[in-house]
A and B are shown apart, each in its own frame.
Chain A
C-alpha cells in the first residue's frame, strides 16, 4: 500500500498525540526560559505577516503556520 507523504505526517502526529505528550513538559516554576519573548510562537507577528504577503504573491504555497487564506488579489 502506498502511503503519501502527507498521510505519513498525519500518522506521526496521531502517534505523538496519543503516546508522547504526557511524558514531556516542565513544571510551572521551570518556565523561565520559555517566557522569553523569542520563545513565543508569534514573537514577531508583523515580520511574519509581511513575509507571508511577499511569498503569497510570488509562490504557489501559503499558510501552514496559520490559515492559508490570502485576502489579496496578487495571486
Chain B
C-alpha cells in the first residue's frame, strides 16, 4: 500500500526520505554480524522494552520417546550498547528408550534401573529392547551479557545451568570479538568450561559389569573445556560468510549409565548383558562454514557445512540448507529446510559381544548413536507478521515441522541365530514447533 503525503513539498520530502534511508543504512551497519536483539523501546511496562522470543516444541519418535519443550528467551539492548539475554527451557520426556540390547527370537526380560518390582519389562521376540518406564524432566536457564569495550571490540560473558532428575550441568563461557576492515570482518575467540554431575537412577553401574550383578557406585562427574575461533566476513552486498574452528575436551564419566550390550554365543543365542564401557575422555575438533546469500528481494538461502572428528574415531559431515521465500511485502515467509548428516562409528562400537571374544578390559558400547549411520531432515516453516500490542510495532507467529530419519550403514556379520531380526531399526521422528516473538 502506498501512502500519499499531503504536507511537505515534494523536494523536501524526497530529501528527508534520502536522509532517513542513509541514517537507517548507517545504523544497521553492524546488524549483519550482530548477535544483539533490536533496540529497546521507550516504554516502561513489564517486558515492554525487552524483545521476547518463545516457542513450544513437540517431538515424537516412532514407538519411542516423546518430548514437550517450551522455551522463552528475552533480551534487551541498553542505551550504552550493552545487551543482556536470558532464557529458560523446560523438557518433559516420556516413552520407551532403547537399552542397547539386541532383538532376539526369544522373549527377553529386563529390570529398569530403578530396580522397583513393578519396573520389570519383557520384550517380545523380534522387538527392539526398550525400557518403557523412561521419563525425565529438565529445567535449564542461561544468560549472556555483551559489553562493547571499544568501537570495534566486544566482550561477551555467559553461563547456563540445567537440572534433570539424574543430571546437573553448569557451563560458563567468555568470548571477545574484534571488528576491522570497516566492520566487514569480525574475528572472535571464545572459551567455555562445563561441569556435569550424574546421579543415575539406581546408582551408577560399573562400566563393563554384568547387568545382573548390580555392582553399583555413587555419583559421577565429567567436565569439559573448549575453544572456538571464528571469522565473519561480509563478502558482497548480499553475501555474508562465517567460518569457525573449534576444539573441546571432555574428561570423566562418559558412559550412558542405562545402556547395556548383549553377549551372544556363536549360535546367536543371548547369554547375558553387560553395561557399556567408554573411554574416560574425548577430544573433538570441528570446522564450520556458513554462507547467507540474498538472491533477490524475496529469496535468500543459508547453507552450512560442518566437519567433525574425535579421538573415538567418529568422523561426521553435516550439510544444512534453509531457503527463505518472503511474501506479501515481507509480511510472511515460507522456509523449507533440508539437512544431510553422516557419521562413522566409534572404534569401540559393537552391536553385540561374542562371548568367545569377550575382553573384560576393553571398551565397548552398543549405543546406536556411536554407530555408523546417515540421517536426513526435511522441514518447513511458515511465519506471519501480526499487529503489535502495547508499544510494539509488530509481532511474529510461526509454525514449523520437521521429519528426521536415521538409517544405519554398516551391518556386521551375525551368527545364524540372529538372522531374520531387524538389528538396526531406523529411527524416525517428527518435530512440530509453534513460535511467537514480539
Contacts and interface: CB of A to CB of B under 8 A. Distances in A.
A58 interface: yes
Nearest to A50: B57
B69 A53 contact: yes
Contact of B73 (A9, A40, A41, A45): A45
A60 B315 CA distance: 9
Interface in A13-50: 13, 16-17, 21-22, 24-36, 38-47, 49-50
A23 B9 CA distance: 43
A41 B431 CA distance: 23
Nearest to A34: B32
A59 B316 contact: yes
B209 interface: no
Contacts of A4: 309
Contacts of B375: 58-59
Given A25-B233, A32-B28, A69 B316 contact: no
B231 to A, nearest CB: 6
B184 A6 contact: no
Contacts of A35: 24-25, 28, 31-32
B169 A71 contact: yes
Contacts of B185: 21, 24-25
Given A16-B243, A65-B244, A66-B228, A26 B346 contact: no
B237 A54 contact: no
A69 B28 contact: no
Contact of A39 (B89, B167, B294): B294
A41 B244 contact: no
Contacts, number: 234
Contacts of B76: none
Interface string B294-307: 10000010101011
Contact of A50 (B55, B284, B326): B55
- Interface size, A (range): 35 or more
Contacts of B164: 72-73
Contact of B248 (A5, A31, A68): A68
The SS class assigned to the A binding surface is: loop
Contacts of B226: 63, 67-69
Contact of A27 (B55, B182, B309): B182
A53 B73 CA distance: 16
Interface residues of B, number: 101
Interface in B159-218: 160, 162, 164, 166-167, 169, 171, 173, 181-185, 187, 190, 192, 194, 196, 198
Contacts of A69: 171, 192, 194, 224, 226, 248
Contacts of B238: 33-34, 39
Interface in B384-414: 400, 402, 404, 406
Contacts of A40: 31-32, 34
A25 to B, nearest CB: 3
B237 A75 contact: no
Contact of B235 (A9, A24, A60): A24
Given A31-B29, A33-B238, A71-B169, A6 B287 contact: yes
A68 B234 contact: no
16 contacts: A10-B287, A21-B181, A25-B184, A34-B240, A35-B25, A38-B326, A38-B333, A40-B32, A46-B54, A54-B404, A54-B431, A60-B343, A61-B306, A61-B318, A69-B192, A73-B167
* Closest CB pairs A-B (n = 3): A25-B184, A73-B167, A35-B28
Interface of A: 4-6, 9-10, 13, 16-17, 21-22, 24-36, 38-47, 49-51, 53-55, 58-61, 63-73, 75
